[in-house]
Amino acid sequence: MKEQFEPVIVAFCCHYCAYTAADMAGSQRLVYPPNVKIIRVPCSGKVDSIHILKAFEKGADGVYVAGCLDGDCHFKNGNDKASRKVAQMMRYLEEIGIEPERLEMVKMSAGMGERFARIATEMTEKIRKLGPSPIKAAAA
């Protein structure tokens, strides 16, 4: 049963870095798992706690927020804010009873197509090992 599990992963990607890096990965013909569903945001700092929670509530097995490298945010410090928000939501997920490692903050530049593909692959593997989210598991 577990072999058939294909995780659903939501990636909130900043328009100025990770989203472009995903494009770059495509141009470079790099393969990354189709489990990752990308949501483009104008800045990682725009991702709200409720967006992360709703993703999990509606069935995501993993979520990550991808922002610019430290000091490179197009809006000065949106990536720092996103990091703090993700850390706060990880604590909240733990309170809820969902493994906090299902959520992650990653940083990259627009030129890092290879890094984008690698993170998508690693996240998919990590969540595959963790299994379905406790919410999905309870519904099954």
Residues that bind other proteins (CB under 8 A): 48-50, 53-54, 56-57, 92, 95-98, 134-135, 138-139
Shortest distance in whole angstroms from residue 6 CB to other proteins: 20
Residue (3 or 95) nearer to other proteins, CB: 95
Residue (108 or 127) nearer to other proteins, CB: 127
Shortest distance in whole angstroms from residue 80 CB to other proteins: 12
Amino acid at 63: V
Task: Report which of 63, 55, 53, 61 is spatially closest to residue 134, judged by C-alpha positions.
Answer: 61
The kind and range of the H/E element at 48 are none
Residue (20 or 133) nearer to other proteins, CB: 133
Shortest distance in whole angstroms from residue 49 CB to other proteins: 5
Q: Tell me the DSSP string of 8-22.
A: -EEEEEETTTHHHHH
* Cα 2 to Cα 53: distance, rounded to the nearest angstrom: 25
